Chains A and B, each alone.
Chain A
Amino acid sequence: MQSANMFLKKILRSPVLPFAAQHGMKKDLLPLSRTLSLSLCLKQDNSCNPEEKLDLDAWKKVMKSELPEVVGETVSEHKELSTLAAARETVEMWRLAGRLVPENITEEQLKTFVECSSKSAQKKYLKFLHVRELYKKNDKRKMDEKRERRLETKEQASEADEAKRNSFICLWASCMDRAYSWRAAQSMIFGQPLVFDMSYEKDMSAREVANAVRQMVFSEGCNRRSADPFHIHFCNFKEDSLYHKEFIKHYREAWGKLLITVTDQCYTEVFPKDKLIYLTADSPKVMKTFDHDKIYIVGSIVDKSIKTGVSLARAKRLGLETAALPLEKYLLWNIGAKNLTLDQMMHILLTLKDTGDWRKALEFVPKRKYCGFVSKPVHELKKTLSLVNTLKLGKRREELQKQFAKNYSKKLTRK
């Protein structure tokens, strides 16, 4: 009997009761809980009927009772919703259904969402927004934490040292900026030109253009910080193009003050043709050394949909020399496409210009894309490659790998 009492106590403490009190259903629920507690006690000796008493449809009552009884109105309201509001509703429902959907969505984003051509495009777009939202939230959280920490340390520091003498005034950032600008200005007079070909806007989606511009902003940054910068040319640059809009988003007022040359002319009009070399991964020619007298052209294109040969076609049309980086010669390629991002290209070219060392330059190729540097003779290399592949893929595909290794070595010997 003592155990029964214990049970009763527990039940009284359980969430059922407060809930019942809240909703004024004491009358219905209390007797129920009592029978439950009793039936549970009886479980030991007589286990045939206890669960029968459990009201399995209680949740339905709850779900229905909470509703304001104005069903008819909501339905008629629903019909009058504009497309945007309807889209907002849909997104909200997707969020409730546990799909990857952003919490907040702006009118503009909703419009893009509505204009998506297919269901999968809609899903992808929302997922993209969702992930971006997550990043932003994380950043914000980190910033807040940092600020708090800084405030704490400041409090401690302010007490500790009052007078710390130094011969320099602390003006690092702006000093550095001035030094960089000085160098960049010099490069605009004496530096080696590097051309970004901005004529690919129609080959890209809006997202890809945004990505390309972001990469170019990075490249410009690392060029400015380098010891001996290139003189950057943006050729075929159209005023009010998507590129332009994106650049302004990134640079704001600074766009007018950048130490680069922006022109709507083609590079063939600016430079002599025989000096130009178009860098493209599709080129049959492989670059051997970095030539300080040539002018290299990089296509400002991000192609997520793998448009092979677009930039090669452009070079062919203009009758320009082309070249590809010697990736296969120096790296044991693993996965991924051979086209690199624009900022990676910039790093590689800058390093080549300063040192002429391919190894150092190709350090900037993402590590996931290659297994290692080529250092041994070809036949040994072949062995390592097949080993790597068997380890990675298991013995089942051994045959296939052998074939691959053979072709790979053939390719190497041919070059």
Chain B
Amino acid sequence: VQPPEKPLQAEEWNRLKESFRSPKIFETVMFNSMVRCNSPIDVAKSLLTYVAKSDGDVAYTLLVKYLALCVQQGQTSEICDVYDIMKRRFKLIEGGAYNLLIRGLSNSDQWRMALTLLEEVKKIMIPSRTNYESCIKAASRHQEMNLAFELYHEMLAKDLVPTLDVLQAFFDFSRGMKGAELQKELFGMLLHLRENQIYPHKTFMWSIKLWFESIPGGNWRGHLTNIKDSGQCPVCNHQLEDSDLTEEEYNNLREKIIRDVIHGTDPFRKTSPQEFQAFQTFVENRLPFDIVIDGLNVSHIKPRKMHCENLFDAVNCLAKENARLLVLGRKHMLIDSSNWKREIMKEIQNKADFFFAENISEDDAFLLYATLQSGKHCKFVTRDFLRDHKACLSDSLTRHLFRKWQRGHQIAFASSSKKMFLSVFIQQPALCYDCVVQTTGDTWHIPYKDTLDEKYSYRVPRKWLCIQQK
């Protein structure tokens, strides 16, 4: 339905309604299309008047839709009026309407009213994070930074995750302001990014950079850069942190992996206690390994090649520097078949240790265990993202640890090109620096997402913002 361009008389609305194929929902449909087309508010008013006069009442849905239209066009006085009517008319206003009210009012000069509304919402439920977002933005826009921070902390206390927009608003509106307290808060936000392994996007990164450079007397300078593979920043020659875990974190992660991933709810689901026991003794007797290889995963790198050849290539490629290798596989690999030639398997077994799990067991869990048991230097090879194992971990803190450890210790192989005769692997090495927001006090290094090309969660950003104090 195309909404009319000018307010209509009751008469005309009546005619329109009768010509509509289902007159019962006419008003709803009409209002929806008004919101979509952003019709002038007078048209909506005339429809409301028509409805009110013919029914003697306006339904709540229509009021909400009208409110949406008002918010869309920033009609503050109308928003207040609708709120007034709702307040008198209904005992309770539900969340959807509050969302609209708060959003609408926070963008106007009546923004303080949005705060009172937020208080009202708190009485009936936990406000959504967008509620907080609107209020915080409104407060910081009017330079009431204390109020904004108060709301921000309140939001964190309620386990709501702040949107990047909120954080960006803080950086945007504190530009050029002085105050140790303020600085501390904003540094805290950067550390929040660090702890949750969040990468800011490009515009947010600019806000951060500009804020740093605007601190009076701070002498901060920011540069955009790419970090070298060695982990050195080309601008300030500072060496970035590596992704090693602390001793405590490492032990913690290892225990959680055994408990949640390998045993889980039922130790029989991924393996069996006997088998795991056998594997544990096997690993204990041969420690430590340098590289642990997921045999089946690696053997599928090049689809045209025999599986065992792929594995052979991979092992050869890794066996160079006297490294101790462990290959995990399943028992069916030992049976002579078109893909698994016994002679080649024999030859590989000379170069690396092998452990063959039952055909119905999951070898990934063993991979994690063996690598963690070998110590911090040990790396593992698989193309698998190990997401399902990460998902088994019970708390988000351990999941972050797992991701960090994975970034630093996983080597992924990819076949070099589509031409099959090339037998070179491209080795995607584990990064030797950790890709998170980091600081040394007088420098900050912040990885950021370059808008489009880095939307994948498993790919870490390659672009960095280097900020240093002169």
Please report A residues at the B interface, Cβ cutoff 8 Å.
10-11, 14-16, 19, 22, 36, 40, 51, 54-60, 62-64, 66-67, 71, 74, 78, 86, 89-90, 92-94, 96-98, 119, 284, 308-310, 312-314, 316-317
Interface string of B81-107 (1 = CB under 8 A from A): 100010111111110110000000000
B269: Cβ under 8 A from any A Cβ? yes
Q: Knowing A16-B53, A86-B124, A98-B61 are in contact, say whether A11-B92 is a contact too (CB < 8 A).
A: no
Tell me whether A316 and B45 are in contact (CB under 8 A).
Answer: no
Q: How many residues of B contact A (CB 8 A)?
A: 44
In the bound complex, CA of A119 to CA of B99 (Å): 15
Q: Specify the chain A residue showing the minimal Cβ separation from B86.
A: A63
B53 touches A19 (CB 8 A): yes
Told that A54-B49, A89-B91 touch, could you supply 14 new A-B pairs with CB distance under 8 A? A14-B14, A19-B54, A57-B49, A59-B49, A62-B56, A62-B58, A63-B89, A66-B57, A71-B88, A90-B92, A96-B61, A96-B94, A312-B360, A316-B272
User: Within the complex, what minimum Cβ distance (angstroms) separates A66 from chain B?
Assistant: 7
Of A51, A74, A284, A313, the residue contacting B7 (CB under 8 A) is: A51
Given known contacts A14-B11, A58-B49, A64-B88, A97 and B360 CB-to-CB distance under 8 angstroms: no
What residues of chain B lie closer than 8 Å to A66, measured between beta carbons? Answer: 56-57
Q: What are 27 A-to-B residue pairs whose CB atoms are below 8 Å?
A: A11-B11, A15-B14, A19-B56, A40-B9, A54-B7, A54-B9, A55-B49, A56-B42, A56-B45, A56-B46, A57-B45, A58-B53, A60-B85, A62-B52, A63-B57, A86-B124, A93-B93, A97-B60, A97-B94, A119-B125, A309-B270, A310-B269, A313-B268, A313-B269, A316-B268, A317-B266, A317-B272
Interface string of B28-59 (1 = CB under 8 A from A): 10000000000000100110110111101111
> A10, B91: Cβ atoms under 8 Å?
no
B359 within 8 A of A: yes
**B90 in complex: contacting residue of A36, A58, A93, A310, CB < 8 Å:** A93
Taking A16-B53, A78-B91, A97-B94 as contacts, is the C-beta distance between A64 and B85 under 8 angstroms? yes
Interface contact B269-A97, CB-CB below 8 Å: no
Q: Which residues on B sit within 8 Å (CB–CB) of A14?
A: 10-11, 14
Taking the closest CB of chain A, its distance from the CB of B278, in whole angstroms, is 15
Most buried by B among A16, A60, A74: A60
Q: What residues of A have a CB within 8 angstroms of the CB of B10 in the complex?
A: 14-16
In contact, B54 and A15 (Cβ under 8 angstroms): yes
Chain B residue contacts of A97, Cβ below 8 A: 60-61, 64, 94, 96-97
**Please, which residue of chain B has its CB at the minimum distance from the CB of A284?**
B360
The 7 closest A-B pairs by CB, nearest first: A313-B268, A59-B52, A96-B60, A56-B45, A93-B94, A62-B52, A59-B48
Give complex CA distance A15, B51 in Å: 10
Chain B residues with CB under 8 Å of A310's CB are: 266, 269
Query: Which of A15, A90, A308 gathers the greatest number of chain B CB atoms within 10 Å?
Result: A15
In the complex, A94→B54 CA distance in Å? 25
Report whether A51 and B6 are in contact in the complex, using a CB–CB cutoff of 8 Å: yes
Chain B residues with Cβ below 8 Å from A59 are: 45, 48-49, 51-53, 58
Instruction: Knowing A15-B10, A78-B92, A93-B92, say if A312 contacts B54 (CB, 8 Å).
Output: no
Question: B53 and A62: CB pair below 8 A?
Answer: yes
**Residues of A with C-beta under 8 A to B57:** 62-63, 66
B-side contacts of A60, CB under 8 Å: 81, 85
Nearest to A55 among chain B residues (CB) is B49
Known A-B contacts A60-B85, A97-B60; A317 and B268 likewise in contact (beta carbons under 8 Å): yes
- Asked if B94 and A94 sit within 8 Å, CB to CB, the answer is yes
B85 touches A63 (CB 8 A): yes
Given known pairs A57-B45, A74-B91, A90-B124, the reply for A96 and B52 (CB within 8 Å) is no
Contact at B58–A63, with CB atoms within 8 Å? yes
**A16 to B81 Cα, complex, angstroms:** 23
Cα of A284 to Cα of B358 in the assembled complex, Å: 11
CA distance A310 to B87 in the complex (A): 52
The answer to whether residues A312 and B269 also contact, given A10-B11, A40-B9, A97-B60 and a CB cut-off of 8 A, is yes
Q: Which residue of A lies closest to B66 (CB)?
A: A59
| Neighbouring A residues of B54 by C-beta, 8 Å | 15, 19
Give the residue among B14, B28, B49, B272 with the most A Cβ atoms within 10 A: B49
* B65 (CB) vs chain A CBs: closest residue: A98
Please, what's the 1-or-0 string for B385-399, where 1 marks a CB less than 8 Å from any CB in chain A? 000000000000000
B88 touches A56 (CB 8 A): no
* A96/B59 in contact, CB under 8 A: yes
Task: Give CA–CA (A310, B46) in the complex, Å.
Answer: 62
A322 to B194, CA, bound (A): 48
What residues on A are CB-neighbors of B52 within 8 Å?
58-59, 62-63
Q: Which of B56, B59, B272 has the most CB of A within 10 A?
A: B56
Q: Cα distance A36–B49 when bound, in Å?
A: 14
Q: Are the CB atoms of B46 and A54 closer together than 8 Å?
A: yes
> What separation, in Å, do the CA atoms of A19 and B97 have in the docked complex?
29
Interfacial chain A residues near B81, Cβ < 8 Å: 60
| Closest B residue to A88 using CB positions | B92
Q: Report how far A57 CA is from B85 CA in the complex, Å.
A: 12
User: If the complex has contacts A56-B42, A62-B53, are A309 and B92 also in contact, measured as CB distance less than 8 A?
Assistant: no
In the complex, which of the residues A15, A19, A93 contacts B60, with contact meaning CB atoms closer than 8 Å?
A: A93
Q: How far is the CA of A174 from the CA of B288 in the complex (A)?
A: 75
Of the candidates A15, A119, A317, the one whose C-beta lies within 8 Å of that of B53 is A15
Of chain B, the residue at the smallest CB distance from A15 is B54
Q: Which residue of B has the minimal Cβ distance to A11? A: B11
Given contacts A71-B88, A97-B61, A97-B64, contact A56 B56 (CB under 8 A): no
Quote the shortest CB–CB distance from A92 to chain B (angstroms). Answer: 8
In Å, the complex CA distance between A54 and B61 comes to 24
**B59 cross-chain contacts in A, Cβ below 8 A:** 96
- 8 A Cβ contacts from B297-339 to A: none
Give min CB distance, A281 to chain B, whole Å.
Answer: 13
B60: chain A residues at CB < 8 Å are 93, 96-97
Do residues B269 and A309 form an inter-chain contact, with CB atoms below 8 A?
Answer: yes
Chain B residues near A16 (CB-CB < 8 A): 10, 53
Across-interface contacts of B270 in A (CB, < 8 A): 309
Say yes or no: A89-B92 contact (C-beta < 8 A), given A58-B49, A284-B359, A316-B272: yes
Which residue of the partner chain B has the closest CB to A23?
B56
| Chain B residue at smallest Cβ distance from A40 | B9
CB distance from A384 to the nearest CB of B (A): 22
Report B-chain residues with C-beta under 8 Å of the C-beta of A71: 87-88
* Residues on B with beta carbons closer than 8 Å to the beta carbon of A67: 88-89
Task: Identify the interface centre among A58, A92, A310, A314: most chain B CB within 10 Å of its CB.
Answer: A58
Interface centre among A59, A64, A310 (most CB of B within 10 A): A59
A contact residues around B7 at 8 Å (CB): 51, 54, 56
* A14 vs B59: C-alpha distance when bound (angstroms): 21
Rounded to whole Å, the gap between the CB of B250 and the closest CB of chain A is: 29
Report chain B residues within 8 Å CB of A40: 9
Q: How far does the alpha carbon of A55 sit from the alpha carbon of B57 in the complex, in Å?
A: 16
Cα A22 to Cα B92 with chains together (Å) = 29
Residues of A within 8 A of B266 (CB): 310, 313-314, 317
Is B9 within 8 A of A56, CB to CB? no
Q: Hey, which chain A residues are within 8 Å of B89, CB to CB? A: 63, 67
List B contacts of A64 (CB < 8 A).
85, 88
Q: Which residues of A contact B64 (CB under 8 A)?
A: 97
In the assembly, what is the distance between CA of A54 and CA of B88, in Å?
25
| Complex Cα spacing A309 to B269, Å | 6
CB contact between A90 and one of B14, B42, B94 (< 8 Å): that residue: B94
